[in-house]
Amino acid sequence: MPLVRLSLTYEVDHIPYGHKKSRPEFVRDAVSVEIKEIAPGSAPVSHRILDRRDRVQTEVRYYENGYWWLLNDVDKPMSPERFTSSPDDLDWPILEALDLRGFLGMQTEDDLRANKSRILRTEKESQWKKAQAGAAKIFFCESRVWVEAGPPNYFGAREGTTISFSAGPSSLERIRGANPLFGPDLNDRKFSARRGVAFDVDEFEGADFHEQAAGKIEVLHRVQNVSHLPLPGMAPERCARELAAYLWRDRTSRLVELVPSLAGDSSETCPDDEKLHRDVLEEFAALTENEAGIFSGELEGAREILRRFNSRPLNELEDAAIASLGL
């Protein structure tokens, strides 16, 4: 398998020689990770993204239960040669594809030890494991680099009464940077989810959304399901989680007073609890714009996500729960 050489940067806590207090330090280490090379038949094209004139804009491949997107390098697909020829330095597109952080530390951990620093804590092993996990989300195929980023979804952007939709990867965690994947960038995908206008393919193409959406709908790109695989994706639960996490992370004391579900935990990260997410949105959606303050722009998103929850058909578990109540 091809090897990619990169600078693994991570944090250590150490006490320099002759000092008594510890200090954090970013260091780097040269490592190599292996990238799979896949035959086209092992990773067939599952979807194509078409423009409004039905011209193919990009393709998505299906491999090991994942959906893999072309990795771009500025304005063209990245080649395996470019990916593997990364210098032993910080190469941001490569680090992003591997889900790694990059820091500007110049010393190595060995340099610190050579200077008689006492190492108290090191992130080396955890970052090394993360590099290997990131490498498992990448393969080379047909002289291109492909990264796993979830099935295609539709992401909307409102402008007045018009919502324009583009297709892109459903992952809200994968790859920042200058348009490394086709479709809206990571921040725009997150924003679309918070505003309740991110949809999986089946929900978007269903009549319910188009009948109830206000204003004009523009579809800039269309998802063509080549393999007819069922598509898990941007259900209302995913949008609710993104909006709840946003409110949780940036909550103010005033918002916590008005939305009691935001007060249950002091951690910076919102717990992964669907009921909590739903409670946060229901309490938040009941506020006025004045009460919501700096979060007033998110009110419409909360109400749209809740509308989607309330308008979709009941699933089998919900049917059974209602039946058990004799209703």
Q: 32 has which bridge partners?
A: 5
Give the contacts of 25 (CB within 8 A, at least 6 positions apart): 11, 12, 13, 14, 105, 107, 112
pLDDT of residue 88: 56
| Residue 6: pLDDT band with limits 50, 70, 90 | confident
| Residue 87: pLDDT band with limits 50, 70, 90 | low
Say yes or no to pLDDT of 90 above 90. Answer: no
| Residue 211: pLDDT band with limits 50, 70, 90 | very low
Interval 246-292: pLDDT, tens? 999 999 999 999 999 999 777 888 999 999 999 999 999 999 999 99
The mean pLDDT of 187-214, rounded to a whole number, is 79
> Which amino acid belongs to residue 135?
A
Nearest-Å Rg of the Cα atoms of the chain is 23
Say yes or no to pLDDT of 192 above 50. Answer: yes
Continuous segment of H or E residues that includes residue 319: helix 316-324
37 vs 92, residue with greater confidence = 37
Q: What percent of the chain has pLDDT over 90?
A: 63
Q: What percent of the chain has pLDDT over 70?
A: 89
| Residue 228: pLDDT band with limits 50, 70, 90 | confident
Using alpha carbons, list the distances in angstroms from residue 87 to 30, 35, 81, 214. 10, 16, 12, 51
pLDDT of residue 37: 96
247 vs 2, residue with greater confidence = 247
> Which range has the worst mean pLDDT, 33-47, 197-211, 238-252?
197-211
Say yes or no to pLDDT of 322 above 50. Answer: no
The dihedral through the CA atoms of 176, 178, 181, 183 has a sign that is positive
Say yes or no to pLDDT of 325 above 80. Answer: no
pLDDT of residue 144: 95
The mean pLDDT of 76-91, rounded to a whole number, is 80
Say yes or no to pLDDT of 92 above 70. Answer: yes
| CB under 8 A, 24+ apart: contacts of 142-146 | 142/40, 143/79, 143/80, 144/70, 144/71, 144/77, 144/78, 144/79, 144/80, 145/70, 145/71, 145/77, 145/78, 145/79, 145/80, 145/83, 145/97, 146/38, 146/43, 146/61, 146/68, 146/69, 146/70, 146/71
The mean pLDDT of 196-221, rounded to a whole number, is 75
The mean pLDDT of 78-82, rounded to a whole number, is 92
Distance, in Å, from the CA atom of 217 to the CA atom of 271, rounded to the nearest integer, reads 34
The mean pLDDT of 193-214, rounded to a whole number, is 74
Say yes or no to pLDDT of 89 above 50. Answer: yes
pLDDT of residue 313: 61
Question: 40-49, 179-188, 307-316 — which one is most confidently predicted on average?
Answer: 40-49
